[in-house]
């Protein structure tokens, strides 16, 4: 059985299917906006032997591992250590591109390394930075700096945590006593202590999941990065480029859905390929639990305004 970090990327077969059916017949340059361990890039390179892949990731560890994994494709693969929100500045000289693929959220590799601080399942420092070499504040620094009111807003906005105010108040109280939270285990213990036992039993998921998700999104400015990245895609695309986004959170999916609709209905730039989001089948969810919340949406730019492109409805 494979380790968590070796899981096949979510909805991989469907991503390739959309690139084949929705994209240009002559795929030459493709951007993998979220490289991770290189699963999408590897399958794209294999499926499109004439294409060159430009892969982006803010995590230097992911870059190193993927370059080693994809060494046989070195002549057609270029990995870049950067946020996809900055891609326009870096990739402008290589544009236009025929396809863009996003697999949002935290990677399995990051979740399984306790020292990265993403997981509520294992104890480690409260870091949560996708780019540990960057200047972003760690989760510990955020919890030490912001007031209870500000933390409650983060937990509610990005995690929809019902007990956001109570948890934030306890964090502030703990900090004022001179015992600021330093590890994931300490934050998990605090959340478990705050949440009523009946509420925890009814959750069906780990009681700390929503707070950890909210902190991660805030620390890495994930929603802002997504909006900026999609705006860059529009300017870097070839006339009939296809954009595929796999998201795992309702806020992410809402941004993608709204952006694609705007491109189609207001700007007349092309056609949304997915009338409804594509979700993983039961068999895939059984193999990879992360797939349970995945939603895939696709868009194709059009060289001719108003050009009709058949949607996929399943």
Tens of pLDDT, residue by residue over 114-132, are 889 899 998 999 999 999 8
Contact between 214 and 187 under an 8 Å Cβ cutoff? The reply is no
Interstrand relation of 52-57 and 77-81 (parallel, antiparallel or unpaired): parallel
**Cα 113 to Cα 124, 127, 189, 210, 247, distances in angstroms:** 9, 11, 20, 19, 22
Helix or strand (DSSP H, E) at 241: strand 237-247
How far is Cα 155 from Cα 148, in angstroms, rounded to an integer?
10
Contact between 278 and 312 under an 8 Å Cβ cutoff? The reply is yes
With a pLDDT cut of 90, the percent of the chain lying above it is 79
pLDDT of residue 289: 82
Contact between 294 and 287 under an 8 Å Cβ cutoff? The reply is no
In the block, tokens 């620094």 appear at 141
Helix or strand (DSSP H, E) at 296: strand 295-301
pLDDT of residue 7: 54
Domains of the chain: 4-109+222-301 (3.40.50.150), 137-219 (1.10.150.170)
Mean pLDDT of 91-96: 95
Tens digit of each residue's pLDDT (9 = 90 or more) over 141-187: 999 999 999 999 999 999 999 999 999 999 999 999 998 999 999 99
Name beta bridge partners: 300.
Answer: 242, 271
Give the pLDDT band (50/70/90) at residue 105. confident
With a pLDDT cut of 70, the percent of the chain lying above it is 93
Q: Characterise 197 by phi-psi region: left (phi > 0), alpha (psi -120 to 50), beta (else).
A: alpha
pLDDT of residue 281: 94
pTM of the predicted structure, to 2 decimals: 0.90
């Amino acid at each position: 059985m494979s380790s968590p970090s070796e899981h096949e990327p979510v909805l991989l077969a469907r991503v390739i299917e959309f690139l084949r059916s929705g994209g240009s017949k002559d795929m030459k340059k493709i951007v993998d906006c979220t490289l991770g361990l290189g699963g999408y890039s590897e399958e794209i390179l294999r499926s499109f032997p004439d294409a060159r892949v430009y892969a982006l990731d803010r995590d230097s560890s992911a870059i190193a591992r993927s370059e080693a994994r994809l060494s046989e494709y070195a002549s057609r693969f270029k990995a870049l250590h950067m946020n996809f929100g900055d891609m326009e500045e870096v990739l402008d000289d290589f544009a236009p591109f025929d396809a863009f693929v996003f697999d949002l959220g935290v990677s399995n590799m990051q979740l399984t390394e306790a020292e990265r601080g993403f997981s509520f399942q294992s104890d480690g420092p409260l870091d949560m930075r996708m780019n540990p070499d960057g200047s972003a504040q760690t989760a510990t620094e955020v919890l030490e700096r912001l007031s209870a009111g500000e933390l409650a807003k983060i937990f509610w906005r990005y995690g929809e945590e019902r007990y956001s105010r109570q948890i934030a108040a306890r964090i502030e109280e703990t900090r004022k006593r001179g015992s600021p939270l330093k590890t994931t285990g300490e934050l998990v213990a605090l959340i478990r202590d705050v949440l009523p036992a009946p509420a925890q039993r009814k959750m069906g998921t780990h009681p700390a999941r929503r707070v950890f998700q909210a902190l991660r999104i805030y620390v890495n400015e994930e929603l802002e990065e997504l909006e900026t990245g999609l705006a860059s895609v529009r300017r870097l695309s070839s006339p009939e480029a296809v954009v595929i986004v796999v998201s795992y959170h309702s806020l992410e999916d809402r941004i993608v859905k709204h952006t694609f609709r705007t491109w189609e209905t207001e700007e007349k730039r092309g056609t949304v390929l997915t009338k409804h989001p594509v979700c993983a089948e039961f068999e895939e969810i059984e193999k990879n639990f992360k797939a349970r919340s995945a939603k895939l949406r696709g868009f194709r730019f059009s060289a001719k305004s108003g050009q009709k492109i058949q949607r996929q409805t399943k």
